[in-house]
């Protein structure tokens, strides 16, 4: 009787966790509503949407911290800005090329990984990106917690004077732990909202974030009567070779801050009305807007050197310094409103860069049980189990952690570009991505594609010695290892792209160039189907309103021709 009761309880729990009972369409271990090819009704993003969406990252604390951290670690301001602009250009090119996968076939990273790695092999890149997303989630949550701490300290004198019960070696205080916990709690309602319904909220968050960060920079420049001496300081790297590789390592760091976002491009570009919508939106955001915040960070870091005698590259630290030096009503009001804007920035960034990416990856890993919303909450729970305060202990540690993201993600980017643009000539068979039958073209050998393993390993294994030395300088490695690591992202991207292309040209997988003859999932508009040569069922086409059908057909035909 007891065994029967437990069996019934487990059965009820399984039914409660299974998405099929809540979904309008079929759900299995391979597909749910959030990872199936998006229908036209869910593809509503325009060029302005992409500008607003990716501005969430570009107008964030992490992008601000980047400029100040590079200046504080070794480079001059002008060298930092050269590295930022070069890194942004590289990132924009990669983002647009990968974004076309989602914009043309309306699938995301977990599903396209099945094309490259096989239907079972796709678990590897998905699990790796989940791990990196958890680290990013924890890091951004802790930074948001510092902003909450500043707000609480500005409002409550008792909180400001709260005694720290933790040792100095912990690199965190009692106040900061409380702020971190509160930030995680207020993230819950923001994570609940679906991506396609969040564009207006993100635009509002962008405006508040930019106003707060601009205000902090203006105050620092005004108080210091200029940008200070640090902005004129020469690089601490001596010799042309050391300087050149220092700048290249900074470029790697710049791209590293975007590495997870680059692999996520197809996750969001699949919401585009037409493929060209993501092109200008991402190019403008990555290169133009993306270069503003690091400059703000450099100027403010230099100004705070003149004001406080040390360069403050982390905005929450500046707010804490305001209250420490002058706990007056003026300083408290400034810290409160600035902190409110910074919390808004971190909420938006954590949702876009980590929450939604985590949700989509977990949805691809366990589609029968996890959708985007559930995946976001799982990511939040996992992130709370880490100790992210060590990541912000120093500028060098911050740069090292961010750089580590790029060495693992760069090979994925190179393989994606090679596979989609060179090997498959932008043609996919969507129906074979959602089953594990041996007759599917993406089943390969026992569900795994051996051709992708070697290019991926070539892209990051040689960088490990240099990476370990950057984290632990006491570890001695050859000079060449350090220099190769300085070229981390460009090396990983290009080496994996070249090796993947060569292997697939020598040993081509079956099914290249094959596409479905019919629109199996109701994915394409009439315009898209006509360009691709896919037959579209009349019932699928009739599910759209006449106005929507006419508009989307016109936009998609123009976009596909472009």
pLDDT tens, position by position, 464-503: 888 888 777 788 888 888 888 878 788 999 999 999 999 9
Domain identity same for 162 and 280: yes
Question: Across the strands, what pairs with 45?
Answer: 272
Tokens linked to 561? 């021709």
**Distance of alpha carbon 339 from alpha carbon 333, whole angstroms:** 10
Residue 496 counted as domain residue: no
List the structure tokens of 417.
């570009």
Q: How far apart are CA 298 and CA 80, in angstroms?
A: 8
* Closest alpha carbon to 18 in 364, 360, 361, 370: 370
The CATH number that applies at residue 197 is: 1.10.4160.10
Q: How many DSSP H helices and E strands does the chain contain?
A: 26, 0
Q: What is the pLDDT of residue 507?
A: 96
Q: Poorest-confidence range of 10-14, 33-37, 194-198, 340-344?
A: 10-14
Domain boundary residue among 401, 436, 457?
457
In a shared domain, residues 453 and 556:
no
Please name every residue paired with 518 in a beta bridge, in sequence order, or none if there are none.
535
Q: Is residue 317 part of a domain?
A: yes
Residues 161 and 279 in one domain: yes
pLDDT of residue 453: 94
Final residue in a domain of this structure, among 427, 457, 487: 457
Residue-wise pLDDT for 78-91, tens only, equals 788 888 899 899 99
Greater model confidence, 394 or 383: 383
Is 25 among the domain residues? yes
Q: According to the model, what pLDDT value does residue 401 have?
A: 59
pLDDT-based confidence at 103, cuts 50/70/90? very high
The mean per-residue pLDDT over the stretch 173-193 comes to 90
Question: What value does the mean pLDDT take over residues 194-219?
Answer: 83
Q: What is the pLDDT of residue 18?
A: 76
413 pLDDT above the threshold of 90: yes
Task: Give the gyration radius of the chain's Cα atoms.
Answer: 24
Q: What is the DSSP letter of 350?
A: I
Position 422 in a domain = no
Does residue 32 lie in a domain region?
Answer: yes
Q: How many domains does the chain have?
A: 2
- 220 Cβ partners below 8 Å, 6+ apart? 299, 300, 303, 304, 307, 318
Q: Is 330 domain-assigned?
A: yes
Selected residue with higher pLDDT from 482 and 51: 51
Predicted TM-score of the model (pTM): 0.83
**Both 116 and 193 in a single domain?**
yes
Quick: pLDDT tens for 305-351.
888 888 787 888 888 888 888 888 888 999 899 989 888 888 888 88
Residues 529, 408 share a domain: no
pLDDT tens profile 421-447: 999 999 999 999 999 999 999 999 999
- The reply to whether 404 and 536 lie within a common domain is no
pLDDT at residue 179 greater than cutoff 50: yes
Between residues 126 and 389, the one the model is more confident about: 126
Is residue 515 a part of any domain in this protein?
no
Supply angle C-alpha 274, 290, 101, rounded to 5.
30
Spatial contact of 420 and 452, defined as CB atoms under 8 Å apart: no
d(CA 395, CA 390): 11
Q: Which domain holds residue 60?
A: 1-414+447-457
Give the model's confidence band at 515: pLDDT under 50 very low, under 70 low, under 90 confident, else very high. Answer: very high
Identify the domain boundary among 428, 457, 486: 457
Determine the pLDDT at residue 537.
Answer: 66
**Do 452 and 544 fall into the same domain?**
no
Let me know if residue 118 belongs to a domain.
yes
404 & 548 share domain: no
Q: What was the pLDDT predicted at 98?
A: 95
Decide if 62 contacts 316 (C-beta within 8 A).
Answer: no
pLDDT > 70: percent of the chain: 85
Choose among 190, 212, 185: nearest CA to 201: 190
Are residues 528 and 387 part of one domain?
no
Are residue 453 and residue 549 in the same domain, yes or no?
Answer: no
- Looking at residues 411-428, what average pLDDT do you find? 95
Rounded to 5 degrees, φ, ψ at 535 are -75, 135
Task: Please tell me which of 138-142, 223-227, 257-261, 442-446 the model is most confident about, judged by mean pLDDT.
Answer: 442-446
Least confident of 51-65, 238-252, 404-418, 512-526: 238-252
Name the least confident of 248-262, 391-405, 486-500.
391-405
Q: Residue 382 pLDDT more than 60?
A: yes
Is 404 in the same domain as 544?
no
> What pLDDT was estimated at residue 562?
40
Q: What is the pLDDT of residue 552?
A: 38
Say whether both 85 and 222 belong to one domain. yes
Compute the mean pLDDT over every residue in the chain, rounded to the nearest whole number.
Answer: 82
């Amino acid at each position: 009787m007891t065994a029967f009761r437990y069996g019934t309880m487990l059965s009820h729990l399984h039914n409660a966790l299974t998405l099929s009972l809540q979904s309008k369409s079929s759900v299995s271990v391979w597909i749910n509503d959030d990872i199936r090819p998006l229908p036209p009704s869910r593809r509503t993003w325009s060029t302005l949407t992409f500008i607003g969406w990716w501005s969430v990252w570009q107008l964030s604390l992490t992008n601000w911290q980047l400029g100040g951290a590079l200046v504080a670690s070794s480079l001059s301001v002008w060298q930092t800005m050269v590295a930022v602009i070069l890194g942004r250009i590289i990132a924009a090119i990669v983002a647009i090329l990968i974004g076309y996968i989602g914009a043309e076939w309306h699938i995301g990273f977990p599903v396209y990984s099945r094309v490259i790695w096989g239907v079972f092999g796709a678990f590897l890149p998905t699990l790796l990106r989940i791990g990196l997303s958890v680290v990013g989630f924890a890091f951004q949550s802790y930074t948001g917690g510092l902003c909450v701490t500043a707000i609480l300290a500005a409002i409550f004198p008792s909180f400001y004077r709260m005694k720290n019960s933790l040792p100095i070696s912990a690199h965190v205080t009692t106040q900061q732990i409380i702020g971190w916990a509160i930030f995680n709690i207020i993230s819950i309602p923001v994570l609940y909202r679906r991506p396609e319904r969040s564009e207006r909220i993100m635009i509002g968050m962008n405006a508040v974030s930019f106003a707060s960060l601009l205000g902090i920079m203006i105050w620092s420049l005004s108080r210091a009567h200029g940008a200070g001496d640090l902005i004129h300081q020469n690089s601490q790297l001596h010799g042309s070779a050391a300087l050149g590789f220092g700048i290249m390592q900074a470029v790697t760091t710049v791209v590293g801050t975007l590495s997870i976002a680059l692999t996520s491009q197809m996750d969001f570009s699949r919401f585009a009305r037409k493929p060209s919508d993501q092109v200008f939106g991402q190019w403008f955001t990555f290169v133009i807007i993306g270069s503003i915040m690091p400059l703000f960070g450099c100027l403010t870091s230099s100004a705070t050197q003149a004001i406080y005698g040390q360069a403050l590259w982390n905005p929450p630290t500046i707010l804490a310094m305001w209250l420490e030096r002058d706990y007056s009503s003026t300083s408290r009001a400034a810290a409160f409103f600035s902190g409110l804007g910074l919390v808004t920035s971190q909420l938006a960034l954590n949702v876009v860069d980590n929450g939604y990416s985590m949700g989509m990856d977990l949805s691809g890993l366990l589609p029968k049980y996890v959708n985007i919303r559930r995946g976001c909450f799982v990511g939040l729970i996992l992130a709370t189990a880490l100790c992210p305060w060590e990541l912000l202990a120093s500028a060098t540690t911050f740069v090292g952690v961010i750089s580590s993201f790029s060495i693992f993600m760069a090979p994925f980017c190179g393989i994606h570009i090679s596979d989609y643009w060179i090997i498959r000539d932008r043609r996919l068979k969507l129906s074979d991505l959602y089953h594990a039958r041996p007759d599917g073209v993406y089943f390969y050998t026992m569900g795994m594609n051996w051709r992708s393993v070697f290019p991926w390993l070539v892209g990051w294994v040689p960088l490990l010695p240099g990476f370990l030395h950057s984290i632990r300088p006491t570890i001695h490695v050859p000079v060449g290892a350090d220099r190769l690591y300085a070229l981390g992202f460009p090396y990983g991207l290009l080496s994996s792209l070249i090796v993947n292309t060569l292997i697939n040209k020598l040993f081509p997988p079956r099914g290249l160039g094959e596409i479905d003859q019919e629109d199996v999932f109701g994915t394409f508009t009439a315009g898209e189907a006509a360009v691709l040569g896919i037959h579209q069922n009349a019932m699928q086409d009739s599910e759209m309103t006449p106005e929507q059908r006419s508009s989307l057909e016109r936009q998609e035909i123009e976009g596909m021709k472009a």
